[in-house]
Amino acid sequence: MSATVFLPYLFSLFLLLLLLPLTLARGLGSEHSDKSVRHRTVQILHAYSPTSPLRPPSAAPASWEDSVLQVQSKDQARLLYLSSLVAGKSVVPVAYGRQIIQTPTYVVRVKVGTPPQTLLMALDTSNDAAWLPCSGCTGCAPVLFASAKSSTFRGLPCQAAQCTQVPNPTCLGSSCGFNLTYGSSTMAAALSQDTVALASDAVPSYTFGCIQKATGNSLPPQGLLGLGRGPLSFLSQTQNLYQSTFSYCLPSFRSLNFSGSLRLGPIAQPKNIKFTSLLRNPRRSSLYYTNLIGIRVGRRVVNIPGSALAFNPTTGAGTIFDSGTVFTRLVEPAYNAVRDEIRRRMGNATVSSLGGFDTCYAVPIVVPTITFMFQGMNMTLAQDNFLIHSTATSITCLAVAAAPDNVNSVLNVIATFQQQNHRILFDVPGSRLGVSRELCT
Ligand SMILES: *[C@@H]1O[C@H](CO)[C@@H](O)[C@H](O)[C@H]1NC(C)=O
Ligand SMILES: *[C@@H]1O[C@H](CO)[C@@H](O)[C@H](O)[C@H]1NC(C)=O
Ligand SMILES: *[C@@H]1O[C@H](CO)[C@@H](O)[C@H](O)[C@H]1NC(C)=O
Ligand SMILES: *[C@@H]1O[C@H](CO)[C@@H](O)[C@H](O)[C@H]1NC(C)=O
């Protein structure tokens, strides 16, 4: 494959093909005598993989650098969006010179309705509700859910209990609707229910938003499945089946032999996995906060002021794991400490920048590992998880960046480039998050 053919693939990321066979493993310690508790493995796809139907025609950038810039501009919008969640107010991100498609990058096949219609819905660990474009929608992408063709579809009335769980509920006639800002988009949706199935478990009367009007281009084209912790999330609505427990493994961006999986339920989760506590922020209950206490570059713990990492529910400060940001962002004092240590080790070698990355070298970067030290768990990243190579220019960059400094930037985000080839386990009842190295490819 020639370089020009290969390059777009590098950053467009990939179709995650193969399911990993379920490994036999113990459950997570809660009771599973209840036969209704399931374990299922679902294939995860990358939205912009070469074979993804969601891939926009313009998603084939001319060069590696372009790809980096593109991914980063999307990330920037995502960061602003997450910051706005944390701040508890809606800040609409502005474009950074390029058109921004602020879409979580990983999607799963979801069957909706009777008979089932398949949609590729984005996985978003930082949101709760599910919503999808319905027929009749103005401003939505072309693939729509035809609610009239489903015998099990129904709209929810204003009196429905779920109507109090959506943001900004409105009553149109007697039906419950809501308006939502997502990234730079807005939408108006009717709160609805239908049968929804991931894997082979059909969940009757699943509550979601049926989008009727959308503006902007931030919405995942075939909808979004919220994997947060709030009342309307997938976890809450499948509590009986999967006990609010799931894990995923995202493959290396560089692999052409992709596979990725979303594993639902406590039973078949890995045995050898280290845990750190999940922290709850009542102001933003859906986000998966963890307690990052330090960062090691190689064997040296770099000097980061405690305040840069401390969890603070009032300001929203702290560290989250997110499935919709590609490159990890650290608040400036933390980022600077990591960057300075890498530059120190590189001695006289000439440092350059590329896109939003400011620590790039034309010679190999000699740092073997970076470790995120969480309370109770060290997550050690091999070079594939923190260095990014340009095959075109032979430049290698530190694939981590400082948080955008123009808004409430108090949030550290552990992003998907750093999570790839790890299984990340979200054990909500146990209030813990686990990480283990696993080849997803
Ligand atoms: C929600 O959005 C719809 C459609 O854009 C609009 O007509 C309506 O006024 C909005 N409602 C609220 C409460 O903002
Ligand atoms: C792809 O995966 C298959 C089976 O998992 C393996 O046999 C093959 O060697 C892999 N190919 C590459 C290029 O990694
Ligand atoms: C780095 O530069 C200093 C001063 O110019 C020089 O003395 C030293 O030998 C250089 N080190 C390397 C590894 O090139
Ligand atoms: C993580 O690494 C640090 C520094 O090497 C070490 O002191 C600490 O005990 C480790 N933590 C765990 C939970 O292994």
Q: What is the pLDDT of residue 216?
A: 85
Q: Comparing C-alpha atoms, which of 379, 359, 361 is closest to residue 370?
A: 379
Burial degree of 216 (CB within 10 A; 0-12, 13-18, 19+) = middle
Q: Which atom of ligand 1 is nearest to the CA of 188?
A: 2
Ligand nearest to the CA of 255: 2
Residue with the nearest Cα to atom 12 of ligand 4? Answer: 377
Q: What is the pLDDT of residue 70?
A: 63
Q: What is the pLDDT of residue 326?
A: 82
Q: Tell me: the pLDDT tens digits for 140-149?
A: 988 899 999 9
Distance of CA 416 to the CA centre of its chain: 7
Domain with CATH 2.40.70.10 in the chain: 40-249, 268-437
pTM of the full structure: 0.83
- Distance from the alpha carbon of residue 16 to the mean position of ligand 2, in angstroms: 13
- Distance from the alpha carbon of residue 189 to the mean position of ligand 1, in angstroms: 9
Q: What is the pLDDT of residue 200?
A: 86
d(CA 259, CA 421): 10
Please enumerate in sequence order all residues whose Cβ is within 8 A of that of 175, keeping only pairs 6 or more positions apart, or say none: 155, 156, 157, 158, 190, 191
Q: What is the pLDDT of residue 431?
A: 97
Find residue 107's DSSP bridge partners: 45, 122
Q: Domain 268-437: which topology?
A: Cathepsin D, subunit A; domain 1 (2.40.70)
Q: What is the pLDDT of residue 258?
A: 62
Burial degree of 431 (CB within 10 A; 0-12, 13-18, 19+) = exposed
Distance of CA 342 to the CA centre of its chain: 27
SS3 71: helix
Ligand nearest to the CA of 139: 1
Strands, DSSP E only, in 174-330? 175-182, 185-198, 201-215, 224-226, 245-249, 261-264, 274-279, 289-290, 292-297, 300-301, 318-321, 328-330
Report yes or no: 148 and 136 within 8 Å, Cβ to Cβ: no
Report yes or no: 213 and 116 within 8 Å, Cβ to Cβ: no
d(CA 274, CA 378): 8
Ligand nearest to the CA of 366: 3
Residue with the nearest Cα to atom 5 of ligand 1? Answer: 188
Q: Which atom of ligand 4 is nearest to the CA of 376?
A: 13
SS3 249: strand
Q: Which atom of ligand 4 is nearest to the CA of 377?
A: 13
Q: Comparing C-alpha atoms, which of 27, 213, 225 is closest to residue 112?
A: 225
Compute φ and ψ for 423, nearest 5 degrees: -95, 125
Give the length of the chain: 441
Low-confidence ranges of the chain (pLDDT < 70): 1-35, 46-73, 84-104, 252-259, 391-392, 405-408, 441
Please enumerate in sequence order all residues whose Cβ is within 8 A of that of 173, keeping only pairs 6 or more positions apart, or say none: none
Number of H helices, E strands in the chain: 7, 28
Active-site residues: which are they?
124, 322
Residue with the nearest Cα to atom 10 of ligand 3? Answer: 348
Burial 80-119 (b: 16+ CB within 10 A, else e): bbbbbbbbeeeebbeebeeebbbbbbbbbbbbbbeebbeb
Ligand 4 binding pocket (C-beta < 6 A) is 373, 376-378
Report yes or no: 182 and 193 within 8 Å, Cβ to Cβ: no
**Domain 40-249 CATH class label:** mainly beta
Residue with the nearest Cα to atom 11 of ligand 3? Answer: 348
Residue 215 Cβ inside 6 Å of ligand 1? The answer reads no
Q: What is the pLDDT of residue 194?
A: 98
- Distance from the alpha carbon of residue 347 to the mean position of ligand 3, in angstroms: 8
Q: Comparing C-alpha atoms, which of 216, 217, 233, 236 is closest to residue 225?
A: 233
Phi-psi region of 216 (alpha: psi -120 to 50; beta: other; left: phi over 0): left
Residue with the nearest Cα to atom 1 of ligand 4? Answer: 378
8-state DSSP, 221 = T
Find residue 300's DSSP bridge partners: 297
